[in-house]
Structure 1
């Protein structure tokens, strides 16, 4: 876990807190200038015990939604990796990591936001769908909604109109993202499944959705591009 807190905090005061999945990569990309622009925001990076920016086997397991009750289990395409453990990860995040992090802070959280990119962006939406109300704001960057034949889009269809409560949602993506895998799907322009999710969630009562499309940005470039608007969204 990585933590960045305001330099001047009054004990017992209230501040917004942002939780960032892929904490190793997220904190590697944060700069003094980005942090200086949000002096009231605390940031908690949820990462892994590695010197790498991404722990690919762990994020494959933790950020992909379960396909059925037997998940997580080996990925058919990469049997050395597990997939489908997002519900277990989110339960640990909410029941253990969030209380632990906030017990270490000298102030109370006014709002909680959660950020994620790619598979972690999909996990952010899975968190909204399965454990609404824990976070107030959700930031999904280039969410991998193509995964498992658009599984999360199919899950969204099963959720009652008013089941998600109230939340603010920011979705960001690039207009030049391409999958490196030869397996489909492939597309031109902004990812159509992400645009479809934006449209669907915009119709839900209580859910305020905004989005941003980065011109000329590929998949990797959307992570650093998202940081300034994500921090501002979480800090407001």
Structure 2
């Protein structure tokens, strides 16, 4: 018996129920959350994690934040969103639904999060060199045809406030979605996006974009180039201020996703941020 359990036994009144020490094997669980599996056209399974608020939705429905690399980022995003919404009078952040989409193994993540670049492969000095790329369209189809309908069928959703959040290759995918499928999300947050991918692919997509939803690009100190020119290019094809840059001083590529969590949630769950 532990010291804690012994103290509880000695302090309990005669006949009173004794509080038992929690089992060491009891897993932590997140209230108001569920994990489901959806399947892509090729049969591959994807874990989808969803957390929703207490109480009824607002008249227009809940805003939704879709978080890439969900196995790493879902719980952090969901708990941060709930904490900020509890202090809504000070934060201006409303309740919302957080959806984590697990990436799975690195080769699948690399394939799913990268657009097609015929004739170009990842150089030897870059991350994921030698891995297959170019599966972004199939992955975005999965999100649009399987994941978004799954959320919309169960919860009342405000389709004018659906945001995609991604880091590194996930940030690349978020920008690609905003520039090539602008109606899919009402805004995107691209954290340390891999702008080197495709030798200027994103810059070329900006040049041909017709409409761009609000974009927030966040970078740490180790960014090779601040995305200021990219933001100016977006402004030239869209309304000025459509894209914003959030510097993250003191942060590196590996820490920027954690550092941007609160600003990303504010972007997704506060209409004033748009």
TM-score (norm 2): 0.69
For 2:3, the equivalent position in structure 1 comes to none
For 1:201, the equivalent position in structure 2 comes to 234
Alignment length (residue pairs): 211
For 1:222, the equivalent position in structure 2 comes to 256
Rg comparison, structure with higher value: 2
For 1:122, the equivalent position in structure 2 comes to 172
The answer as to whether partners of 1:176 and 1:216 remain within 8 angstroms in 2 is no
Q: Which runs of 5+ in 1 are unaligned?
A: 178-186
For residues 85 and 45 of structure 1, what CA distance do their matches in structure 2 show?
A: 19
Give the Å deviation of 1:19: 0.7
Deviations 1:137-188 (A, max 9, x none): 111111100112222222322x15xx115x21111111234xxxxxxxxx4x
Q: What is the CA RMSD across the aligned residues, in angstroms?
A: 2.5
Residues 88 and 119 (structure 1), Cα distance of their counterparts in 2 relative to 1, 3 Å cut: same
The answer as to whether partners of 2:206 and 2:237 remain within 8 angstroms in 1 is no
For 1:169, the equivalent position in structure 2 comes to 215
For residues 110 and 86 of structure 1, what CA distance do their matches in structure 2 show?
A: 23
For residues 76 and 145 of structure 1, what CA distance do their matches in structure 2 show?
A: 14
Residues 205 and 110 (structure 1), Cα distance of their counterparts in 2 relative to 1, 3 Å cut: closer
Residue 57 of structure 1 pairs with residue 118 of structure 2: no
For residues 80 and 261 of structure 2, what CA distance do their matches in structure 1 show?
A: 11
SS in 1 for 2:199: helix
Q: Which runs of 4+ in 1 moved over 2 A?
A: 9-13, 28-35, 74-81, 106-110, 154-157, 202-207
TM-score (norm 1): 0.79
Q: Which runs of 5+ in 2 are unaligned?
A: 1-47, 86-93
Give the Å deviation of 1:228: 0.3
SS in 2 for 1:84: coil
The structure, 1 or 2, with the larger RCO (C-alpha pairs under 8 Å, 6+ apart) is: 1
